[in-house]
Amino acid sequence: MTLLQFFLWSLLKVIVVTVILLVGVAYTVLLERKLVGRIQNRWGPSRVGPFGLLQPLVDGAKSFLKEDIIPTAVYRPLYLLAPMIALGCALISIAVVPFGDPSISFHGFHLFQISDVNIGLLVILGITSIGVYGVALAGWSSNNKYSLLGSLRSSAQLISYELALGLSLVGVVMRAGSLNLRVIVESQASQGLLTWNLFGGLQCIAFFIYLMAAYAETNRSPFDLPEAESELTAGYHTEYSSMKFAMFFMAEYANMITVGCVATMLFLGGWTSPFGHLLPDPQSLILRSVLPIFWFVLKVFSFLFLYVWVRGTLPRFRYDQLMNFGWRYLLPLAILNIVGTSLWLAYK
């Protein structure tokens, strides 16, 4: 394969994955509106298209067509840059996610992963951590006290829960012996769900810590304190409108999908079947290509369903409760999980 062909194939993969991710973001919003509607005993979107399936298209058009208002007192360069940072980091992190069988390739070119990086897990953690700059700069540059308080809350929340989230993944990395996401998935593939880290790998405590920290990292209920309407009007994006507001909205849902992908790879066996090698591998190339993607998407969907279910069930925490839970409970529990995993690996 020539350098030009490699570049064109890479560009094609980037375009396809980005389009699929953006479509996934749009329909994750629809999924949330429909599920929360059912939880609250109402229909949710049902008028635009069959079962409301065209509602995301209407919402996107509305965001583009709404009047774009920029207050006069904002610091304009950072005000405009902040939503780009938030959305850009949310989209870039998907580049190292393997969402299909890596053994299927075209002239040595992996079809189901944009970039196979040996430290893929660190790349995702680093990029998603940078995303908070978008929120922090949006609050500061808006020259609005409510926005500033929302951005400060987000920064403190990220620092607090980033520690617990990172430490919760140490046990998984120790068990796999690698930071490569493909290696971590393959280490869970032998007997299906019996060897998934959530069940057979004794990382159920790590999964709970990751789950709680992920809610806080993505500013989702019950930890959505940076945009608490009853206290901060709308939080860090109070002064944003039109497509700039929509970019923050899209970044939040893109981060939800990324968090679901990471949970799927680290705790639920990634693209591998829950039956492991107990069933024979399909002989058809089409089935060998499609089935891993099906399992991966199903697991991510289940994680997103849990996200929405929690939002429709639990009330928002107070800010002091949020900080206490992170520092006094999740962080010590994550350290204990590392110690327990170390002892288990040493004496098994």
Per-residue pLDDT tens digits for 232-243: 677 788 888 888
Q: Letter for the amino acid at 331?
A: L
Distance from C-alpha of 105 to C-alpha of 120, rounded to nearest angstrom: 19
* Reported confidence tier of residue 245, pLDDT bands at 50, 70, 90: confident
Distance from C-alpha of 105 to C-alpha of 101, rounded to nearest angstrom: 9
pLDDT confidence of residue 300: 93
* CA distance between the termini of the chain: 46
* Reported confidence tier of residue 108, pLDDT bands at 50, 70, 90: low
- Which residue from 92, 84, 123, 317 is spatially nearest to 220, judged by alpha carbons? 317
- Residue 209 clears pLDDT 90, i.e. is over it: yes
Q: What is the mean pLDDT of residues 234-253?
A: 86
* Reported confidence tier of residue 279, pLDDT bands at 50, 70, 90: low
- Specify whether the CB–CB gap between 320 and 328 falls below 8 A: no
Q: What is the mean pLDDT of residues 222-226?
A: 80
- Residue 288 clears pLDDT 80, i.e. is over it: no
pTM above 0.85, yes or no: yes
Of residues 286 and 329, more confidently modeled: 329
- Which residue from 268, 257, 345 is spatially nearest to 299, judged by alpha carbons? 268
- Residue 274 clears pLDDT 90, i.e. is over it: no
pLDDT confidence of residue 195: 83
* Reported confidence tier of residue 280, pLDDT bands at 50, 70, 90: low
Least confident range from 27-31, 168-172, 196-200, 329-333: namely: 196-200
pLDDT confidence of residue 107: 66
Query: Which runs of E-coded beta strand occur in the chain?
Result: 105-106, 109-110
